[in-house]
Amino acid sequence: MAHGNTPITVAHGDGIGPEIMDASLQILKAAGAKLDIETIEIGESVYKRGHSAGIEPSAWESLYRTKVFYKAPITTPQGGGFKSLNVTVRKSLGLFANIRPCVSYHPFVATKHPVMDVVIVRENEEDLYAGIEHRQTDEVMQCLKLISRPGCEKIVRYAFEYAKQNNRKKVTCFTKDNIMKLTDGIFHKVFDEIAVEYPDIVNEHWIVDIGAAKMADTPENFDVIVMPNLYGDILSDVAAQIAGSVGLAGSSNIGEQGAMFEAIHGSAPRRAGQNLANPSGLLLGGVMMLVHIGQGDVAERVHNAWLKTLEDGVHTYDIYDESVSREKVGTKEFAQAVIARVGQSPSKFKPVKYGVAHSIKVPTIAELRKPAAKKDLMGVDLFLHDRRNPAELGPVVDALQNDHLQLVTLSNRGVMVYPRGNSQTSTIDQYIGRFMSKTAGTPISHQDIIELLQRANHAKLDVIKTENLCNFDGQPGYSLSQGQ
């Protein structure tokens, strides 16, 4: 390792990946980046050699050692049996935060939103992306949405710390907690709790549907937006696209065990090998990497040279527009144009300034763990695979009650269908029988649930899963079914 160099792991990826990675690395080096590069192979060829996550076991050694991964896009093979490389790397390195700055470059890149500078901070490890899915019945597939309080605390604190460090004025939170009161509810609650610790930063919350509509309509009203995984995945692509092009946005994935930097776009196989692709997204991912490893001065030189190139009208095909562009160039020529401008600052765009950046530290899950709540088992939901209609099935389930547990509701897709219900409700082949303690406020035991399951077995009911219904410090830890 040359003196002062930072070791990083680089993967050239598939499709346009190798071209844009070569171009980006050339620019970073020309600007003085001090890097010791270790190259690993990932992607299609590795998948095809039988590694289901698209990465060789030996590559992990480099990643765990350098803890900095600069990654070009890969092609994910179609069909079952392949795991997402991104999800595997995120989980293995604990990359809990995905940061995607989406900036418009008006008037040099066509956009409907000339004033846009939004940073999406997406939670990266939880939500529906835990990938826990089951087929429960003939008709029903289930995907579990898991959101943890420490997970929310980490990402929300990261968003506020990011805002503070980058002189941002406002942090907005998007959730759907009017419907998902516990999962999205905890995200919103944690946001409100942490926001008060940052009195100099404006905070606001929007329900994600109207929030997304406002972001797409008037992005200039947003600054940093923090959200759970799924909303962040979708809306960061929307934000990048309306800013001008998905080809221009870079992204960082930050975690306790390491960090990964990339473009937000994919491997664009149809453009591969033709010296056409725009390396800007990956280059800006590289800029974020330089800031992360403490080479903010180099990041500044690269970013400003790149802005100067854009405003000089030197454009790749994807953003070329006769009315503003001066020269249509290929990947290599674009890289040379940026290199020729290293040391220059843009005159139309505001030059960027990174100064001495510090990587943002947030507490670990273990540090965030709170004392256990007082937990009382108050009942159980029995999930049943059954095709009968509610009038037929209801009495059968009702008859399972024992000395301690009674049927409170039988519901179908979250709507009560027994003992009261609307005959118009259409039902599918999965029901939930909710059994609660017969004596209000008195907890039941696990043995009561075992006995209930034995009775269900005797009644030839197909129980596909159970969920315990608990109070935590006296507060119900479960939702009510509609009509309950």
Binding region for ligand NAD (CB under 6 A): 16, 20, 73-76, 86, 246-247, 262, 265-271, 277-278, 281, 318
Two structure tokens written together for 127: 């939500």
As measured in angstroms, the least distance from the Cβ of 86 to ligand NAD is 6
As measured in angstroms, the least distance from the Cβ of 315 to ligand NAD is 11
* Residue with Cβ nearer ligand NAD (236 or 430): 236
User: Could you tell me which of 390, 409, 391 has the C-alpha nearest to residue 401?
Assistant: 409
* Residue with Cβ nearer ligand NAD (40 or 452): 40
Residues with Cβ within 8 Å of 421's Cβ and at least 6 positions away in sequence, in order, are 390, 415, 483
Strand partners, 7: 36
How are beta strands 314-315 and 327-328 bridged, if at all?
parallel
As measured in angstroms, the least distance from the Cβ of 281 to ligand NAD is 6
Length of the chain counted residue by residue? 484
Q: Which helix (H) or strand (E) holds 279?
A: none
**Angle at the Cα of 328 (from 324 to 333), degrees rounded to 5?**
130
* Residue with Cβ nearer ligand NAD (207 or 324): 324
* Residue with Cβ nearer ligand NAD (16 or 456): 16
As measured in angstroms, the least distance from the Cβ of 83 to ligand NAD is 12
Euclidean distance between CA atoms 301 and 342, whole angstroms: 6
As measured in angstroms, the least distance from the Cβ of 84 to ligand NAD is 8
As measured in angstroms, the least distance from the Cβ of 78 to ligand NAD is 8
Euclidean distance between CA atoms 215 and 120, whole angstroms: 11
Euclidean distance between CA atoms 178 and 463, whole angstroms: 30
Angle in degrees, 0-180, between the axes of helices 296-311 and 331-340, rounded to the nearest 10: 110
By the 8 A CB rule, do 41 and 56 touch? yes
As measured in angstroms, the least distance from the Cβ of 294 to ligand NAD is 25
As measured in angstroms, the least distance from the Cβ of 359 to ligand NAD is 22
Euclidean distance between CA atoms 51 and 44, whole angstroms: 10
Q: Classify 288 as helix, strand or coil.
A: helix
* Residue with Cβ nearer ligand NAD (76 or 411): 76
Among left, alpha and beta (phi > 0; psi -120 to 50; other), residue 69 is beta
As measured in angstroms, the least distance from the Cβ of 323 to ligand NAD is 20
By the 8 A CB rule, do 253 and 288 touch? no
* Residue with Cβ nearer ligand NAD (67 or 71): 71
Residues with Cβ within 8 Å of 404's Cβ and at least 6 positions away in sequence, in order, are 437, 438, 439, 444, 445, 448
Task: Give me the residue whose beta carbon is nearest to ligand NAD.
Answer: 266
* Residue with Cβ nearer ligand NAD (331 or 481): 331
Instruction: Give the E-state strand segments of 164-239 in sequence order.
Output: 170-175, 202-207, 224-227
* Residue with Cβ nearer ligand NAD (69 or 354): 69
* Residue with Cβ nearer ligand NAD (285 or 421): 285
Peptide bond just before 419 cis, omega within 30 deg: yes
